[in-house]
């Protein structure tokens, strides 16, 4: 199935410090592409994969689950570790949960974690109906493009496959149990006005991780997809400074080659 325009994966061969970026549920690399290009422009090696079942049509996602999505970012992490001396993980929404699980499972192999509006739970009464409802109804309305900036558009599905949503609910439970294993420095950026993920999710993450080096930044002018919103530059700059603090010498503008796919 052809990938939607703009949803292609992105990779950039830069210096000895690498960053793995993870996109969100029903979204695509498009939501993180400007962030990836910013980091690449400052000399970092960057990997932004397209998660299985994403970036094409929702029917493809119906056939995938959290194990597929996690396996993809885990493979990308191993590739980055083979290439780079220091590796950081980052993500938006469900991508934040993926990044946190990578940190929990890989320990010192990861130098730090950056999450933007990280998701921790499927909320609402409908979540409890998912085990049954997914056999009766195939989809519900989509969650893409929660962006305050006029004209901001996220390349994502306009429908949420319920089989995938049920798997997502299971994944969040797995990640929540593993959060105490996250010990790396953590930068968490969140939007007080988020119509997809409530503030309780970020609060839960902050209360559960074992990290002692923790920074929380509020994105006052943005909604859920803050990486495409008014505070995008703040996210980019804060994350680069975070990586630079933990891996001195980063951000000197080493040249590299960027490639989609």
CATH class of 10-245: alpha beta
pLDDT value for 130: 63
Query: At residue 45, does pLDDT exceed 90?
Result: yes
Please tell me whether the overall predicted TM-score, pTM, comes out greater than 0.75 for this model: yes
Enclosing H/E stretch for 259? strand 257-260
In the chain, the DSSP E strands lie at 10-13, 17-22, 45-48, 86-92, 113-116, 139-141, 159-161, 186-190, 214-218, 257-260
Task: Tell me what the mean pLDDT of segment 161-184 comes to.
Answer: 95
Q: Is 93 a catalytic residue?
A: yes
Predicted confidence band of residue 258 (pLDDT cuts 50, 70, 90): very low
d(CA 154, CA 148): 12
Strand bridging mode 86-92 / 113-116: parallel
Instruction: List the structure tokens of 236.
Output: 């980019």
Check if 224 is active-site: yes
Q: Is 88 annotated as a binding residue?
A: no
Q: What angle, rounded to 10 degrees, do the helices at 162-178 and 66-83 form?
A: 50
| pLDDT of 59 over the 80 cut | yes
- Cα-based distances in Å from 84 to 51, 80, 92, 241, 250: 22, 6, 23, 18, 12
Q: Is the pLDDT of residue 126 over 90?
A: no
Of residues 146, 194, 201, 229, which has the active-site annotation? 194
Q: What are phi and psi of 159, to 5 degrees?
A: -130, 145
Q: Is 73 helix (H, G, I), strand (E, B) or coil?
A: helix
Is 94 part of any known ligand binding site?
yes
Q: How confident is the model at residue 83 (pLDDT cuts 50, 70, 90)?
A: very high
Is the pLDDT reported for residue 116 higher than 50?
Answer: yes
The per-residue pLDDT for 252 is 46
Measured CA to CA, the distance from residue 233 to residue 174 in angstroms comes to 32
Q: Distance of CA 68 to CAs 10, 54, 150, Å?
A: 19, 11, 34
Answer whether residue 133 shows pLDDT above 80.
no
Q: How far is CA 41 from the centre of its chain?
A: 20
The Cα 162–Cα 130 span in angstroms is 7
The model's confidence at residue 159, banded by pLDDT at 50, 70 and 90, is: confident
- What six digits make up the tokens of 197? 């993920």
**Confidence class for position 192, pLDDT limits 50, 70, 90:** very high
Mean residue pLDDT across the chain: 91
Which helix or strand (DSSP H or E) is residue 161 part of? Answer: strand 159-161
pLDDT above 70: residue 261: no
Mean pLDDT of 48-72: 96
Reported residue count of the chain is 261
Please tell me which residue in 12, 23, 166, 224 is annotated as part of the active site.
224
Annotate 163-218 with DSSP letters as a single string.
HHHHHHHHHHHHHHHHGGG--S-EEEEE-SS-SSS-HHHHHHHHHH---SSEEEEE
SS3 23: coil
Residue 139 pLDDT greater than 90, yes or no? no
Q: What share of the chain is helix, strand, coil (3-state, %, to 5)?
A: 40, 15, 40
């Amino acid at each position: 199935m052809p990938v939607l325009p703009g949803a292609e994966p992105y990779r950039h061969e830069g210096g000895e410090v690498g960053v793995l970026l993870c996109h969100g549920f029903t979204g695509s690399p498009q939501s993180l592409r400007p962030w990836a290009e910013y980091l690449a422009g400052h000399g970092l090696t960057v990997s932004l994969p397209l998660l299985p079942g994403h970036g094409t049509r929702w029917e493809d996602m119906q056939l995938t689950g959290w194990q597929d999505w996690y396996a993809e970012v885990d493979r990308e992490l191993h590739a980055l570790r083979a290439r780079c001396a220091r590796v950081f993980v980052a993500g938006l929404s469900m991508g934040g949960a993926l990044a946190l699980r990578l940190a929990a499972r890989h320990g010192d192999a990861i130098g730090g974690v950056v999450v933007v509006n990280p998701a921790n739970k499927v909320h609402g009464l409908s979540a409890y109906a998912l085990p049954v409802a997914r056999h009766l109804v195939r989809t519900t309305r989509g969650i893409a493009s929660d962006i305050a900036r006029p004209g901001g558009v996220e390349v994502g599905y306009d429908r949420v496959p319920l089989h995938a949503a049920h798997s997502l609910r299971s994944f969040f439970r797995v990640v929540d149990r593993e959060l105490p294993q996250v010990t790396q420095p953590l930068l968490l950026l969140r939007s007080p006005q988020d119509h997809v993920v409530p503030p309780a999710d970020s609060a839960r993450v902050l209360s559960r991780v074992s990290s002692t080096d923790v920074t929380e930044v509020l994105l006052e002018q943005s909604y859920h997809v803050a990486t495409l919103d008014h505070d995008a530059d703040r996210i980019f700059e804060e994350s680069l400074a975070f990586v630079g603090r933990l891996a001195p010498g980063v951000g000197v503008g080493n040249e590299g080659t960027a490639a989609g796919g």
